[in-house]
Amino acid sequence: MRIKRQKRIGQPLWLDLAIPVGGLLMAFLASGVFLVMMGVSPIEAYREMYYSAFGDSYGLSECMVKAIPLAMTAIALMLSFKMLIWNIGAEGQIFMGAIAATAAVRYFPVEGHWTMMTIMGISAIIAGGIWAAFAGYLRARWNVNEIITTLMMNYIAIHLMDYFVYGPWRDPSSLGFPMTAPFPETAKLVPIGWGRVHSGIFIALALILLAWWVFKMTRWGYEIRVIGENPKAATFAGIDYVKNVVVVMFISGAIAGLAGMSEVAGLQGRLQHGFSGGFGYTAIIVAWLSRLNPLAIAIVSFLMGGLLVGGESLQIVMGLPIASTLVVQGCILFFILAGEFFRRYRIVLVKEEI
């Protein structure tokens, strides 16, 4: 008797639902073991996380605050993942967008709110887009591994931001803290009156609907899906592979850059060290949990925002380190990716003939 894997011909609907749910349950079970090892009751920890995130209006607004950059970045990653281009550099593209938006505030200040926001948005789009398109061109033209290049470019972008906030852009009145001077009111996204939620939420919703429309209704969206399913067949069909990879990576980076602008203009009000909090990496989990579905990204981003808010509550109430939240996130990603194997293959026992 031996174990053999067989490729599934089709995936039933129940399997599409069971795998992510089962992956989440396994992730919380594994995280529970970790919490027990730290001397914390998993039930109490999960209860605290739930009520701090979803128990009142303030918790819900904080979930929404976290969901805004997550949704925007997950949409950015979804575009490249659909084409099987593994853009792991969203974190760096967020930083480049935030740097460019801050540069616009410093060097091109204008009085009008909408004019200032437009200049900041365009700057962030160009910076994030070019940052990602460079890796896309290397991938499409010379088959350079985009996972390595985008990941390494993250560190360049992060250190570049540190150079500015520790150096020439540091606010002299910040008492030595690595941050720029506060943005003027014209360079801030407007609060919508619910906690700290700002008007960046409308940008995120617009991007979700636009991405859904592109992939469902346009020929370009169809071409992206074809390239993702079979690049050689797409080339034989006359689809320009190099051009599409570079364009998709530019748009992917541009959206991530816009997320960086939204974060500094809507929440931080200035550029400062560690402003992102790893949204570029967490958005990878969001994109996979959503199965690259734009509408699902809206829901999963909100739930992941709840996980982040709950994790912060664990630090405050139970005194757990931030690593505890990262362990939960890592477990979720691990079990979701592991579940993809069972979605593609079935495990069967085969009798060996004697």
Instruction: Using 70 as the pLDDT threshold, list the residues of the chain that sit under it.
Output: 352-354
Got the DSSP string for 85-119?
Answer: -----HHHHHHHHHHHHHHHHHHS--S-HHHHHHH
Residues 146-192 pLDDT 10s:
999 999 999 999 999 999 999 999 998 888 889 999 999 999 999 99
Cβ count within 10 A of residue 27: 21
The pLDDT, as a whole number, for residue 352 is 67
In the chain the domains, ranked by start, together with CATH numbers, are 1-40+320-353 (no CATH), 57-305 (1.10.3470.10)
Cβ count within 10 A of residue 207: 20
Q: How far is CA 160 from CA 51, 97, 100, 150, in A?
A: 38, 12, 11, 15
The pLDDT, as a whole number, for residue 3 is 75
Q: What is the pTM of this model?
A: 0.89
Helix/strand/coil (H/E/C) assignment for every residue in 139-165: HHHHCCCHHHHHHHHHHHHHHHHHHHH
The pLDDT, as a whole number, for residue 81 is 92
> What SS3 state is found at 192?
coil
The pLDDT, as a whole number, for residue 353 is 65
Contact 346, 12 (CB under 8 A): no
